[in-house]
């Protein structure tokens, strides 16, 4: 039984207290059983013969042992409170530590709501069992056991009759027990589902609003709440039945006892004192049985909680330290991937036979289309996952042989999705590091271009960050997390789209900071904004899980391959300093398929009709089904394309800088075929149909060109 396993596991160091607790229980049980037995002597030796001396003797014994019993009971209560407190403390610590040590795949396998339910309601239910139900059940169990022995010694025939009657009467609850167990499990799962929905609706409120998914979420929650109601009803009914049946059974048993007991008295096989003692003892045993059966639903419920908690305790991280791991030393030579193949879980290969060398101190970047495996490669360098095939080495040492702690000390990482703790700015920056001076902290904040912003807040570095930084802008969060990483002075710095939420001037500043790290820090940055990496030492171009080009910006442009194509697509845009307004040059405009082949003059005119639109992350630009009246060109940022399918809406593509959408809207008023949502701060250039049509009056060839291209595309 999991309960006993847990008790053994956590209470072994407290053996002495545990033995004391058992002793106190035995005293209590002894009294509970012996007190009714005293009635036999009171009735047969004191009351019936009217013997005063015997009465006083028995009474004194009863009073004395009663006081002793009270003292033992109180000590037992204290001990159980202490032991259960210890156990829960240890369980909580181990559970939480287990959670922290899990590999990344664990977090994609488990939903937040499900894990938090295990910490909240499951642990509460365990607390109830360990602190009250189990000790009381244990006590009642021994009472029943000893009490039955005494009942048999008083009158075995009567005891046997009562026992047979009881066994028959307990068959009912046994049958219901299985059903109750299933009902309890199903309710727990439904609670987990609902908790996940609440969690999702809170964390994803922006996306939900942006995609206008409120109704879908309400509908989903409504279904879950209805299911909870129906399942809860069944569970409560089953549990009540379990509780009710023993009471009824007890009444039937009383009838058996009085009837058969009376019969034995008349036959002279039972004295009146014995009958009174038997009856009282039976009531006491019956009460204990009743309590025991009362505890059964709670035990069943808790058994599921025990299972769910021990499931977590038994989870072993898929990525863990080997025995005797080596400590990673500061990088002096190179970071290498050797023929690495990797996929998530049992999924397809995402990285296919990837190899590269990055010299220490250099600034390297991973570029490529969305989904080509750049972030995955970065995560492997962090050892969030281990490769399926091949190896990763830092200065020739396999990552799998290094201690995780030393790796994390050497490697800093900044993700696109930054997470800030609910603590002050200072605490967030210094988190996990001691001995950081004020100057160092300010220098890091300045390097990340966030110092001035922090100083403008009323409490400066002591400003509390609330709701995990939800009140800050995406750019502020990103800059704070860059500062946090810089402050740790890592030898290797891994950056995943860290400047996506920044305006061009701030981005320029951060890029300078990153370039300034050359020589002292090995930096590997994943980005889709090629203008930010022209000074990188090495650029790795990813395509469909493979590296297809390697070189410097110039070398790759000269190569005229995929990188060149990407560069050409992104080139030709210019921005205002705050990044809110964009312009596109005529050469670039003429490369858009629908405008290809147009003369310079109409293109110049066209460029003046484009309007800048800036959106924060998570905003819906186009809603599937809405009337389309604009064509869009992405000047900066990226968007996802989502479509409705019978099983819900799904991302079907990601569009990035230089991509465009909505061409058909220039010609016809037809509903949009997909929704477009920004995945980062995005600047678009839009062209309204009415203005475009106006233009075509002066340049009819524009209309012809657009129509021709679109017709070709449709065909
Ligand atoms: N935790 C995960 N579990 C399963 N598949 C994943 C996971 N993370 C990423 N993928 C998949 O792996 C592929 C590569 O993703 P990855 O994030 O590495 O690409 P990327 O080149 O960085 O793209 P982007 O620029 O859009 O982030 C994608 O198809 C993605 O859906």
Q: Is the CB of 525 under 6 A from ligand 1?
A: no
Cβ atoms 270, 278 nearer than 8 A: yes
Q: Which residues contact 633 (CB under 8 A, 6 or more apart)?
A: 584, 592, 610, 658, 659, 660, 684, 685, 686, 687
Number of residues that this document lists for the chain: 715
Backbone angles phi, psi at 115, to 5 degrees: -65, -45
pLDDT at 526: 94
Band of residue 210 on the pLDDT scale cut at 50, 70, 90:
low
Rounded CA-CA distance 194/595 in Å is 51
538: closest CA among 394, 365, 355? 365
Compute, in angstroms, the gap from residue 350 CA to the centroid of ligand 1: 8
Q: Give the sheet arrangement for strand 397-398, strand by strand.
A: 351-359, 334-342, 389-394, 397-398
Compute, in angstroms, the gap from residue 526 CA to the centroid of ligand 1: 12
Please give the structure tokens belonging to residue 387.
């490769």
Q: 350 pLDDT exceeds 70?
A: yes
Provide mean pLDDT across the span 333-339. Answer: 94
Closest Cα to atom 24 of ligand 1: 370
Closest Cα to atom 16 of ligand 1: 373
Site of tokens 């147009």:
598
Q: Is the CB of 373 under 6 A from ligand 1?
A: yes
Which of 342, 344, 494, 680 for a ligand 1 pocket mutation test, highest count of atoms within 8 Å of Cβ? Answer: 344
Rounded CA-CA distance 438/26 in Å is 62
Terminal Cα-to-Cα distance of the chain (whole angstroms): 68
For residue 556, the Cα-to-chain-centroid distance in whole angstroms is: 41
Q: Is the CB of 372 under 6 A from ligand 1?
A: yes
Cβ atoms 454, 476 nearer than 8 A: no
Q: Which residues contact 584 (CB under 8 A, 6 or more apart)?
A: 572, 573, 574, 607, 610, 633, 635, 685
Share of residues in the chain with pLDDT > 90 (%): 30
631: closest CA among 651, 616, 611? 611
pLDDT at 599: 82
Supply the DSSP symbol for 49: T
Atom of ligand 1 nearest to the CA of 526: 22
Q: Which residues contact 390 (CB under 8 A, 6 or more apart)?
A: 337, 338, 339, 340, 341, 353, 354, 355
Compute, in angstroms, the gap from residue 486 CA to the centroid of ligand 1: 26
358: closest CA among 205, 550, 184? 550
Paired with 547 in beta bridges are: 542
Q: Which residues contact 32 (CB under 8 A, 6 or more apart)?
A: 143, 147, 284, 288
159: closest CA among 173, 141, 147, 174? 147
Rounded CA-CA distance 552/538 in Å is 5
At residue 631's C-alpha, the angle toward residues 582 and 622, to 5°, is 95
Rounded CA-CA distance 235/188 in Å is 10
Q: Give the sheet arrangement for strand 630-636, strand by strand.
A: 611-615, 682-688, 630-636, 660-661
**Residue 20 parent element (H or E):** helix 15-41
Site of tokens 């049985």:
289
How far are the Cα atoms of 117, 320, 571 from residue 316, in angstroms, in the given order? Answer: 20, 8, 48
Q: Which residue has the higher pLDDT, 82 or 474?
A: 82
Band of residue 397 on the pLDDT scale cut at 50, 70, 90:
very high
Q: 323 pLDDT exceeds 90?
A: no
Compute, in angstroms, the gap from residue 105 CA to the centroid of ligand 1: 13
pLDDT at 157: 92
Q: Where are the beta strands (DSSP E) in 164-278?
A: none
Atom of ligand 1 nearest to the CA of 528: 25
pLDDT in tens, 40-64: 888 888 988 889 999 999 999 989 9
Rounded CA-CA distance 123/125 in Å is 5
Coil, strand, or helix at residue 672? coil
Q: Which residue has the higher pLDDT, 516 or 208?
A: 516
Please give the structure tokens belonging to residue 370.
């969305």
Q: Is the CB of 350 under 6 A from ligand 1?
A: yes
Q: 169 pLDDT exceeds 90?
A: no
For residue 153, the Cα-to-chain-centroid distance in whole angstroms is: 58
Which of 347, 373, 638, 651 for a ligand 1 pocket mutation test, highest count of atoms within 8 Å of Cβ? Answer: 373
Paired with 107 in beta bridges are: none
353: closest CA among 561, 549, 547? 547
Regarding beta strands 334-342 and 389-394, do their DSSP bridges make them parallel or antiparallel, or are they unpaired?
antiparallel
pLDDT in tens, 488-520: 888 999 999 887 777 777 788 888 888 888 888
Coil, strand, or helix at residue 671? strand
Provide mean pLDDT across the span 401-423. Answer: 85
Compute, in angstroms, the gap from residue 110 CA to the centroid of ligand 1: 18
Q: Is the CB of 375 under 6 A from ligand 1?
A: yes
Q: Is the CB of 656 under 6 A from ligand 1?
A: no
pLDDT in tens, 580-601: 888 898 888 888 888 877 788 8
pLDDT at 431: 81
Cβ atoms 582, 575 nearer than 8 A: yes
Please give the structure tokens belonging to residue 651.
């991302």
Q: Is the CB of 371 under 6 A from ligand 1?
A: yes
pLDDT in tens, 257-282: 889 999 999 998 989 888 988 988 88
pLDDT at 69: 92
Band of residue 442 on the pLDDT scale cut at 50, 70, 90:
very high
Which of 340, 376, 545 for a ligand 1 pocket mutation test, highest count of atoms within 8 Å of Cβ? Answer: 376
Supply the DSSP symbol for 325: P
Q: Is the CB of 674 under 6 A from ligand 1?
A: no
Band of residue 168 on the pLDDT scale cut at 50, 70, 90:
low
Rounded CA-CA distance 541/525 in Å is 12
**Residue 650 parent element (H or E):** strand 648-655
Please give the structure tokens belonging to residue 538.
């090495």
Backbone angles phi, psi at 447, to 5 degrees: -60, -30
pLDDT at 714: 66
Cβ atoms 610, 572 nearer than 8 A: no
Q: Is the CB of 374 under 6 A from ligand 1?
A: yes
Half-sphere CA count of 72, side-chain side, radius 13 A? 20
Cβ atoms 161, 261 nearer than 8 A: no
Compute, in angstroms, the gap from residue 376 CA to the centroid of ligand 1: 6
pLDDT at 356: 94
Q: Where are the beta strands (DSSP E) in 435-513?
A: 492-496
Closest Cα to atom 9 of ligand 1: 376
Rounded CA-CA distance 641/620 in Å is 10
User: Per-residue b/e over 496-527, b at no fewer than 16 CB within 10 Å?
Assistant: bbbbbbbbbebbbbbbebbeebeeebbbbbbb
Atom of ligand 1 nearest to the CA of 369: 21
Q: Where are the beta strands (DSSP E) in 62-116?
A: none
563: closest CA among 527, 515, 524? 527
pLDDT at 57: 92
Q: 426 pLDDT exceeds 80?
A: yes
Q: Which residue has the higher pLDDT, 74 or 586?
A: 74
User: Which contacts (CB < 8 Å, 24+ apart) does range 536-540 have?
Assistant: 536/363, 536/364, 536/365, 537/359, 537/362, 537/363, 537/364, 538/358, 538/362, 538/363, 538/364, 538/365, 539/364, 539/365, 539/367, 539/563, 540/356, 540/364, 540/365, 540/366, 540/367
Least confidently predicted of 246-260, 310-324, 535-549: 246-260
Supply the DSSP symbol for 334: E
Band of residue 317 on the pLDDT scale cut at 50, 70, 90:
confident
Which of 343, 351, 374 for a ligand 1 pocket mutation test, highest count of atoms within 8 Å of Cβ? Answer: 374
Q: Where are the beta strands (DSSP E) in 209-362?
A: 334-342, 351-359
Atom of ligand 1 nearest to the CA of 108: 1
The chain-wide mean pLDDT, for the chain, equals 87
User: Per-residue b/e over 550-584, b at no fewer than 16 CB within 10 Å?
Assistant: bbebeebbeeeebbeebbbbbbbbebeeebebbbb
Band of residue 642 on the pLDDT scale cut at 50, 70, 90:
very high
Compute, in angstroms, the gap from residue 371 CA to the centroid of ligand 1: 5
pLDDT in tens, 108-151: 788 888 888 888 888 888 888 888 888 888 888 899 899 999 99
Closest Cα to atom 31 of ligand 1: 371
- Whole-number CA gyration radius for the chain: 37
pLDDT in tens, 470-483: 778 878 888 898 99
Share of residues in the chain with pLDDT > 70 (%): 98
Closest Cα to atom 3 of ligand 1: 344
Q: 221 pLDDT exceeds 80?
A: yes
pLDDT at 676: 94
pLDDT in tens, 547-565: 999 999 999 999 999 999 9
Q: 316 pLDDT exceeds 90?
A: no
**Residue 318 parent element (H or E):** none
Q: pTM (2 decimals)?
A: 0.71
At residue 524's C-alpha, the angle toward residues 337 and 351, to 5°, is 40
Cβ atoms 21, 83 nearer than 8 A: yes
Rounded CA-CA distance 519/509 in Å is 19
Band of residue 702 on the pLDDT scale cut at 50, 70, 90:
confident
Cβ atoms 512, 350 nearer than 8 A: no
């Amino acid at each position: 039984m999991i309960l006993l396993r847990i008790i053994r596991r956590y209470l072994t160091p407290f053996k002495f207290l545990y033995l004391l607790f058992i002793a106190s229980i035995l005293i209590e049980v002894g009294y509970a059983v012996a007190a009714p037995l005293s009635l036999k002597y009171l009735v047969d030796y004191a009351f019936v013969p009217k013997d005063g001396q015997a009465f006083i003797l028995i009474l004194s014994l009863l009073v004395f042992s009663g006081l002793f019993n009270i003292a033992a009971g109180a000590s037992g209560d204290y001990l159980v409170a202490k032991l259960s407190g210890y156990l829960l403390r240890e369980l909580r610590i181990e559970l939480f530590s287990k959670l922290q040590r899990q590999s990344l795949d664990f977090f994609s396998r488990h939903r937040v709501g499900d894990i938090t339910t295990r910490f909240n309601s499951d642990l509460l239910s365990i607390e109830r069992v360990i602190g009250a139900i189990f000790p009381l059940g244990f006590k009642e169990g021994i009472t029943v056991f000893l009490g039955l022995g005494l009942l048999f010694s008083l009158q075995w025939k009567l005891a046997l009759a009562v026992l047979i009657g009881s066994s028959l009467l307990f068959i009912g609850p046994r049958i219901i027990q299985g059903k109750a167990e299933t009902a309890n499990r199903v309710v727990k799962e439904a609670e987990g589902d609902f908790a996940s929905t609440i969690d999702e609706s809170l964390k994803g409120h922006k996306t939900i609003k942006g995609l206008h998914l409120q109704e879908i979420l309400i509908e989903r929650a409504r279904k879950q709440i209805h299911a909870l109601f129906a399942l809860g009803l069944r569970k409560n009914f089953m549990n009540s039945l379990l509780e009710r049946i023993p009471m009824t059974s007890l009444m039937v048993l009383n009838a058996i006892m009085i009837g058969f007991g009376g019969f034995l008295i008349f036959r002279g096989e039972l004295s009146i004192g014995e009958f009174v003692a038997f009856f009282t003892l039976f009531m006491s045993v019956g009460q204990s049985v009743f309590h025991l059966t009362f505890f059964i639903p709670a035990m069943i419920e808790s058994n599921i909680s025990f299972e769910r908690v021990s499931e977590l305790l038994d989870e072993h991280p898929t990525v863990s330290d080997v025995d005797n791991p080596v400590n990673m030393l500061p990088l002096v030579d190179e970071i290498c991937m050797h023929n690495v193949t990797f996929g998530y879980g049992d999924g397809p290969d995402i990285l296919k036979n990837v190899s590269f060398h990055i010299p220490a101190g250099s600034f390297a970047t991973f570029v490529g289309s969305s989904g080509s495996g750049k972030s995955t490669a970065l995560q492997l360098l962090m050892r969030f996952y281990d490769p399926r095939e091949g190896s990763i080495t830092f200065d020739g040492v396999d990552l799998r042989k290094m201690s995780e702690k030393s790796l994390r000390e050497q490697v800093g990482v900044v993700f696109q999705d930054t997470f800030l703790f609910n603590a002050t700015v200072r605490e967030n920056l210094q988190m996990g590091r001691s001995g950081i001076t004020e100057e160092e902290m300010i220098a890091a904040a300045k390097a990340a271009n966030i110092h001035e912003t922090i100083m403008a807040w009323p409490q400066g570095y002591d400003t509390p960050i609330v709701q995990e930084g939800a009140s800050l802008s995406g750019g502020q969060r990103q800059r704070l997390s860059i500062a946090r990483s810089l402050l740790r002075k890592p030898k290797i710095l891994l950056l995943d789209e860290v400047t996506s939420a920044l305006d061009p001037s701030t981005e320029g500043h951060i890029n300078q900071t990153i370039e300034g790290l050359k020589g002292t820090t090995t930096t590997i940055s994943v980005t889709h904004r090629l203008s930010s990496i022209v000074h990188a030492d090495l650029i790795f171009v990813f395509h469909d899980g493979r590296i297809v080009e390697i070189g410097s910006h110039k070398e790759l442009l000269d190569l005229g391959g995929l990188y060149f194509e990407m560069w050409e697509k992104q080139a030709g845009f210019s921005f205002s300093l705050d990044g809110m307004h964009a312009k596109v040059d005529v050469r670039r405009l003429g490369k858009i398929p629908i405008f290809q082949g147009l003369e310079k003059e109409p293109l110049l005119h066209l460029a003046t009709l484009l309007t800048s639109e800036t959106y924060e992350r998570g905003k819906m630009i186009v809603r599937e089904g809405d009337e389309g009246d604009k064509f869009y060109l992405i000047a900066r940022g990226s968007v996802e394309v989502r479509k409705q399918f019978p099983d819900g809406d799904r991302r079907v593509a990601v569009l990035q800088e230089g991509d465009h959408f909505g061409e058909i809207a220039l010609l016809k008023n037809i509903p949009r075929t997909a929704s477009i949502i920004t995945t980062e701060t995005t600047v678009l250039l839009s062209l309204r149909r009415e203005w475009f049509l106006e233009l075509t009056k002066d340049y009819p060839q524009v209309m012809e060109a657009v129509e021709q291209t679109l017709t070709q595309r449709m065909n």
